[in-house]
Structure 1
């Protein structure tokens, strides 16, 4: 008798569990992975991990159509996610336009019509939800609900292993990069949204820096990932030491970092900040097990509102400026 085919979605849950084990205690990366995989397996337009923080629900991981809303806060008492936490049970919204339990305005902002939310448990307390969303009504079925239950269990297990303490420690683990201790992508976007709102109210400027660490791949390839991790930690330390008290320095990807310059009066001030960070990164050598390694970065800047008035465009301008810097470096090396 030929073997019976296993449920492919269950096999994918098992594969996800294996990948989570490799991530260790990096809870932010675990939530990102589970959100991404959950979206793929359910055919959703987007997926979100929301954590309950005081009176709010906060988007701490987001994929697909929800990505642009990473860091967003919603009133806990006026959302399906808040009801899910209070009930401690999964909830299904077939159509947000006719469901009295949902925040219709928030649903329209995100562009969703149907969703499933399942609770995330930590030490017998519901601390958040895993949610999938679709722009179409009645998108999800009982199989999707079962899958979300399994995936939420993976996050809960990661939460348990990341911290045996309470909500405050859980917040730190969920919002900071495990390797460098810097704010992670989710916390960066939350602070960026707050900075934008304040700048609009006060009619003032702020800046964003995008820093791409140069040479990390070569370090990993030649000396291994232990050396690469040490270089990342040294790089992060120099950024942290250089930052002003009002700025936010974050690790937003593998070799990608970002800085929010919350108070800059002009482009010249922003350029001075760029030079200060560049000098801090390069100013002294770095060695791993007696092997000297260079530290450097390609840095791009963008200024609100001079370069853009919305976050997506602002970040894109900083990204373009960073790649222009990287191309100029390569051209200079080729001509040397």
Structure 2
């Protein structure tokens, strides 16, 4: 249940925190300042640092999009729920946005304000939710959660309240960096874009994956999931610098974009990994054929700073429902297929050298 703090703590929140927690908040502020102006990176770091600072089992930044709350960044036990959409009505996060005040749940099994089934799917029993305000609009919430009931104290609630001001300021600065800063929609768009390649990011990919699986189950359709891992990025970075590595990632993104349809979802998942959701695919054999074709077509050289570089990628593909019914199982199978291609290519290169 939500707690009302003593009046002296409301007047001066920092008065209720021990020195080591205040130092933690200062370090939090410093880390967020270092991240820069990439909104998706900012909120990913916010979730992780909030979890560490409060000792929670996980944390999430949820944005209010229409009548839904969407996990746009997540850490710990919430990480696998990235992209999850919940109805604002009947959720503690939605209530926090509506009321604009921090809320605390001691036990999701007995708190009537929460979506109990959603809490069970995440694996949480208690949580603190604080609003994130963008001007006069509450655009979302910062939430820390625990697998144990009654895991959070007043100090944790105070900590999140102080952090939320830092996060809100970071959101404002990150969105003002763009020429389009006037609406909440711009905030959501920036939270789902990869600044290096211009593709969707990991949050967008998981969002579309959850939604795609929901529609596929409802209508009896198939859904293809393709994972693409660039070969040799670490070597390029180590030998020629990160500018060359960034150029390679942008070239690979361009080649992947040219080979995917408008109905597909292409995203950079982080580092050297990309993901593609195929809106319509006949069967697993067709998905595997697409993976091999993709690997062949993205392969080739590119030039950076007057130097030629080889570019290639390993690809793995699976299809719902034949290869699995849940997000984790499907991604695991796609990973296995991708690394099988990578191992096969390494074996071929070694054989040629001999």
TM-score class normalised by the smaller sequence = over 0.9
- Match of 1:77, SS? coil
- Counterpart for residue 232 of structure 1: 249
- Match of 2:89, SS? helix
Q: Distance in 2 between matches of 1:11 and 1:181?
A: 36
1:178 to 195, 203, 216: 195
Task: Give the paired residue count.
Answer: 330
- Match of 2:328, SS? helix
Note the C-alpha offset of 1:77: 2.1
- Counterpart for residue 87 of structure 1: 99
- Match of 2:338, SS? helix
Note the C-alpha offset of 1:248: 0.7
- Counterpart for residue 211 of structure 2: 194
Alignment of 1:254-269 (within 5 A): 254-269=271-286
Q: Distance in 2 between matches of 1:210 and 1:241?
A: 16
Alignment of 1:138-287 (within 5 A): 138-164=150-176, 165=181, 166-283=183-300, 285-287=301-303
The Cα offsets for residues 66-93 of structure 1, whole Å up to 9 and x where unpaired, read as 1222111111121111121122221111
Alignment of 1:2-21 (within 5 A): 7-21=19-33
Alignment of 1:127 onto 2:139: yes
Tell which deviates more after alignment, 247-256 or 155-164.
155-164
Note the C-alpha offset of 1:299: 0.8
Check the 8 A contact 1:94/1:138 in 2, yes or no.
yes
- Counterpart for residue 309 of structure 1: 325
Alignment of 1:57-136 (within 5 A): 57-136=69-148
- Counterpart for residue 289 of structure 1: 305
Note the C-alpha offset of 1:207: 1.4
Q: Distance in 1 between matches of 2:250 and 2:166?
A: 28
Q: Distance in 2 between matches of 1:157 and 1:229?
A: 29
> Residues 235, 155 of structure 1: CA spacing in aligned structure 2 closer, same or farther, 3 A cutoff?
farther
Note the C-alpha offset of 1:217: 1.0
Q: Distance in 2 between matches of 1:262 and 1:295?
A: 27
- Counterpart for residue 3 of structure 1: none
> Residues 25, 241 of structure 1: CA spacing in aligned structure 2 closer, same or farther, 3 A cutoff?
farther
- Match of 2:311, SS? coil
Note the C-alpha offset of 1:10: 3.7
> Residues 245, 317 of structure 1: CA spacing in aligned structure 2 closer, same or farther, 3 A cutoff?
same
- What TM-score comes out, normalization by structure 1 length? 0.92
Tell which deviates more after alignment, 265-274 or 17-26.
17-26
- Counterpart for residue 46 of structure 2: 34
> Residues 335, 249 of structure 1: CA spacing in aligned structure 2 closer, same or farther, 3 A cutoff?
same
Q: Distance in 2 between matches of 1:262 and 1:278?
A: 19
- Counterpart for residue 65 of structure 2: 53
